[in-house]
Structure 1
Amino acid sequence: MGDGRLLLGVNDNARHLLLMGDQAIFSLFPDHPDIPELPAAVHERLKTDFTRHALHDAFTIKGTTYVLQNAYGPVSLLVATERTHEESRALNIFLIRVGLIAGLLALELIAVALAARTFLVEPLERLALAVAEWRRGAPFDPRINRSIPLEIRHLERAFLRATRRLTRHEQELEKSAHHQDMLIREIHHRVKNNLQVIASLLNLQASRIRSHEAREEFRLVRDRVRALATLHRYLYSENGLSALDVQSFLEELCSILFSAHNMNTQTRIRLKLDIEHVLISPDQAVPVALIVTEVVSNALRYAFPENRSGAISISLRRVPNPPPEKEGLVELELGDNGIGLDAARASESRTRREGIGIQLIRGFARQINADLLINNDGGTWYNLKFVPADPVPTAVAIAQQAINRDDSPIS
């Protein structure tokens, strides 16, 4: 039969000791009487175990593992063992292999991240940047490497086809809008020319009429037609809005009216203009032009008889602090410091003419929803307050707005 002590590992690196109740230490095997010198920390731990009456304890001090197990009564078995060279070598090999496996996993993760960055993230970023540049007007050019995945290349080609179609569509839209814009300009130009021809015919016809009253009626109609012809030169603006440039228009209109009566704006009858920058829509521009024509024409004919001197004033300004329901309210005040409306009605013919002019002014004021006040104190004054309608965008501006809405970012 074999030696049963081999079960306790006598031939390995372990030492087997007996601890008595008085903490005396003896070797378990008489043929191995050597008792190792235990560190002070081991003695302190064993003392604590005896104090606590511990039946089992295991601890490691200075590379040596100690196992305490109660055997019988106060006698306990203490086994002290150190790692053998083979165990240390095996442990080192195990740790090296674990480290290599962990390092390989880390390298694989880094390689996967770099590959994903190179072949997926960067191509998508370049594609997004190319789309953003295209929206700002640059040609679509993603500059994607041919070695990227096939799906990304398919996505690039899809974006390329879409941007080309959208670019062609925008170019066609802008071309159509410019064409429509030119047509509208041509319409205004032709209308202006036709009205000027009509005004010339009326003027020619008036020169052949002997009746003073009939000749004056023809000239009144001529002035109104000239006002409309002048208006069509200013209705179409260059700032993307179909609106009336009020200040320039009134300056030219009044100059034409003065010239039609063989007068200058700074001689016997002076012209005073105080016009703020206010945009008026085409629908309101026609009544405003005709109101100014009626007032200035009547003032030139009747307000300063017998070569009197005076002034005709026109002002257009925004009303400060208007009511909330009339936001943007403006005030148009025009008149003269002549003899006044009542004095001008001295003769029967002038009464009829003045009556027609006032009726026209009232009618035009209703067209723009204006509040009209007529004052005869110190001349004849007309005060109109109305809210300008929003100017209408031109065809090019509408097309550009549609393109900008299509280019807006998706939320």
Structure 2
Amino acid sequence: MRGRLLALVAAATVPIAVIAGSNAWNAYDAALEQSRQEVLVLREAAVARHGSAVGSMREVLTALAADPDLLTRGPEACDATLEHARSLSPSRYSNFWVLGGAGELLCSGVPTPRGGNYAALDYFDAARSAGGFALGEFTIGIVSGRAVLPAAVPILAPDGTMTALVGGGLFLDSFLQTERRAPTIAEHHVWLLDEDGTTLPLGNAIAGALPPAPDLDRLRRYTADALQGVARDGSALIWAAEQLERGLVLLVGLPVGAIQDAARQALQQRLIELTVFVLACLAAILIGVELGVSRPLRRLAARVRTWAPGRPYEAQSGGSVPVEVFELDRALTAAAAALQDREQALTAALQQRDLLMAEIHHRVKNNLQIVASLLSLQSDRMRSETARREFAVARDRVQALAMLHRHLYMNQTFQRMSLRPFLEELSRKLGEAIGGGSGGSVAIRVEADDIELGADESISLALLLTEAVSNSVRHAFPDGRPGTVTISLRVEGTTALLRVSDDGVGIDGAADAGDGLGTQLINGFAAHLGGVAEFTSGPGTTVSVRFPLPEAARPVAVPDHAASV
């Protein structure tokens, strides 16, 4: 009972544990998701800061390329225009220049010898292929000697071919200065990545906080979502990237080790609290079940075990017990009293039945003995030897049935009987009636396991033995020849083997092979037992019948011995 109640309570706490565990996990996941959202916010803020510089570069170059008089006013005027554009923000722009369609330098905002060819620079082919604004890779400016980000916008002819190119250089220092001036929301890292993957750390960014090369390549190509992992220095970070322009990617990294540790500690704390709560509940339930259910039930079970039929059931007296246990105790008291009354009634009915059955079997036995006596008297009045023999056979059959009924009511079971005592008495009676026995020339020997059979099977077996023994005594030993008739009954597994054998002249040598009725009766009784009668001869005659034993038949453990009459 205690185990079942504990199992039910444990099953009832499963949903609570699942809900609490799910809430703890959701809190843990929410903490990690918060860091993911935070890095996305940092990315958008960095894009807003640094994207404006690239956007301004695009606007300036686009405006210069759209000036129709830029190339027609002459090189000096072109130089002046470009110088004026650079002077608008000299701390941001390193220079502006114009290249011809073949890459030759036409004019420059910073004094530079004309005629040099720059077609081999990466932004030249990028702008011509894109047909619009294009960025180059991080490089050192030819004129300024500082790190710059070059960009270019092509000047297109009406047929779409590039006739010239307006280029400009954006100081990378400007990104650094912008990052230093930005308000710090959280400790994070910012990098710029150009087309070939070169990284430019901004602010306090360090190279060890970069993701591994495969992750960095994936972030540079697919910049839609954040990526969490282990940085090159082994720390835990979450990164988010955004493309500022084609060929220029901004990468933001946020350390999340402390956040993960705090979230993990909070999760562990929640789980510990949940475990303590569940264990406390189970302990309280165990104590309550022990005091309120298990102990009263054990006491009740002990009283029930000590009760036996025929004895009064002792109800519980005094003490505090649950109402349900008290009602159960009252019900058991009433049931015990009813069982006692019913047992007394059944015992009286069973005794009455036994008396009636014994009286029936006794009267049947007496009636059969009267019939046997009448047959014997009638046989004495017969002049024909054949008629007297037939009356004697009929008398033997009736006496066998009378003896069977006597054994049934003496056995007091009325349904089953032990075969060995019956067979010994039957063989003795047959020997005396037919002329064998201790003073006759034919001895009847019994070798049988003691088993129990029902009344129907016992009747068939008795009549079969009567016929077989009668045939052997009357026909196997002509002219007063001495001999032995052996009755054998053995148990072999789930079957029994009955043999009636003699050492007489055999079927062929007998003066009278027996009447046909006796053989038919033997076959019929064998079939009723569930077997088949087999007759063998030489020497003597043997009648064998193997029949199945009923499941209730059990051999009686008595010493095996032989009896002879």
Q: Which interval holds the TM-score relative to the shorter structure?
A: 0.5 to 0.7
The answer to whether the Cα contact below 8 Å between 2:461 and 2:525 also exists between their aligned partners in 1 is yes
The Cα offsets for residues 114-133 of structure 1, whole Å up to 9 and x where unpaired, read as 9x96x987655433322222
Candidates 490, 500, 503, aligned match of 1:317:
490
Candidates 149, 171, 176, aligned match of 2:344:
171
Structure 1 residues not aligned, in runs of 5+? 1-112, 320-326, 394-411
Cα distance between partner residues in 1 of 2:439 and 2:315: 66
The Cα offsets for residues 220-239 of structure 1, whole Å up to 9 and x where unpaired, read as 10000001111112235758
The Cα offsets for residues 132-167 of structure 1, whole Å up to 9 and x where unpaired, read as 222465420134127767766554333222211122
Cα distance between partner residues in 1 of 2:326 and 2:385: 86
Q: Residue 264 of structure 1: CA displacement? A: 1.7
Could you say which residue in structure 2 is the equivalent of 1:81? Answer: none
The answer to whether the Cα contact below 8 Å between 2:368 and 2:399 also exists between their aligned partners in 1 is yes
Structure 2 residues not aligned, in runs of 5+? 1-286, 555-565
Cα distance between partner residues in 2 of 1:149 and 1:246: 58
The answer to whether the Cα contact below 8 Å between 1:126 and 1:144 also exists between their aligned partners in 2 is no
Q: Residue 312 of structure 1: CA displacement? A: 0.5
Could you say which residue in structure 2 is the equivalent of 1:35? Answer: none
The DSSP-based 3-state class of the residue aligned with 1:256 is: helix
The DSSP-based 3-state class of the residue aligned with 1:306 is: helix
Q: 1:144 to 1:190 in 2, by over 3 A?
A: same
Could you say which residue in structure 1 is the equivalent of 2:406? Answer: 233
| 1:243 pairs with 2:416 | yes
The Cα offsets for residues 178-224 of structure 1, whole Å up to 9 and x where unpaired, read as 32233222221111111111001111111111111111111110000
Candidates 499, 521, 541, aligned match of 1:360:
521
The answer to whether the Cα contact below 8 Å between 1:227 and 1:290 also exists between their aligned partners in 2 is yes
The DSSP-based 3-state class of the residue aligned with 1:209 is: coil
Q: 1:136 to 1:329 in 2, by over 3 A?
A: same
| 1:276 pairs with 2:276 | no
Candidates 499, 513, 538, aligned match of 1:333:
499
Q: Which AA in structure 2 matches 1:360?
A: L
TM-score (norm 2): 0.43
The answer to whether the Cα contact below 8 Å between 1:242 and 1:281 also exists between their aligned partners in 2 is yes
Q: 1:210 to 1:317 in 2, by over 3 A?
A: same
The answer to whether the Cα contact below 8 Å between 1:276 and 1:317 also exists between their aligned partners in 2 is yes
Could you say which residue in structure 1 is the equivalent of 2:462? Answer: 289
Q: Which AA in structure 1 matches 2:362?
A: H
Cα distance between partner residues in 2 of 1:256 and 1:234: 14
**Identical columns (%):** 38
Cα distance between partner residues in 1 of 2:454 and 2:406: 14
Q: Residue 277 of structure 1: CA displacement? A: 2.0
Structural mapping, 1:10-409, within 5 Å: 124-135=297-308, 138-145=311-318, 153-235=326-408, 238=411, 242-265=415-438, 267-319=440-492, 328-344=494-510, 346=511, 350-351=512-513, 353-391=514-552
Q: 1:238 to 1:134 in 2, by over 3 A?
A: farther
The DSSP-based 3-state class of the residue aligned with 2:366 is: helix
Could you say which residue in structure 2 is the equivalent of 1:398? Answer: none
Higher Rg of the two aligned structures: 2
Q: Residue 171 of structure 1: CA displacement? A: 2.3
TM-score (norm 1): 0.59
The DSSP-based 3-state class of the residue aligned with 2:504 is: coil
The answer to whether the Cα contact below 8 Å between 2:397 and 2:463 also exists between their aligned partners in 1 is yes
Q: Residue 241 of structure 1: CA displacement? A: 7.7
Q: Residue 261 of structure 1: CA displacement? A: 2.7
The Cα offsets for residues 86-115 of structure 1, whole Å up to 9 and x where unpaired, read as xxxxxxxxxxxxxxxxxxxxxxxxxxx89x
Cα distance between partner residues in 1 of 2:367 and 2:414: 24
Cα distance between partner residues in 2 of 1:123 and 1:337: 76
Q: 1:315 to 1:247 in 2, by over 3 A?
A: same
Cα distance between partner residues in 2 of 1:131 and 1:240: 32
The answer to whether the Cα contact below 8 Å between 1:284 and 1:389 also exists between their aligned partners in 2 is no
The answer to whether the Cα contact below 8 Å between 1:242 and 1:392 also exists between their aligned partners in 2 is no
Q: 1:375 to 1:124 in 2, by over 3 A?
A: closer
Cα distance between partner residues in 2 of 1:200 and 1:390: 38
The DSSP-based 3-state class of the residue aligned with 1:235 is: helix
Q: Residue 265 of structure 1: CA displacement? A: 4.2
Q: Which AA in structure 1 matches 2:392?
A: R
Q: 1:266 to 1:237 in 2, by over 3 A?
A: same
Cα distance between partner residues in 1 of 2:319 and 2:300: 13
Q: Which AA in structure 2 matches 1:282?
A: A
Could you say which residue in structure 1 is the equivalent of 2:248? Answer: none
Cα distance between partner residues in 2 of 1:121 and 1:341: 79
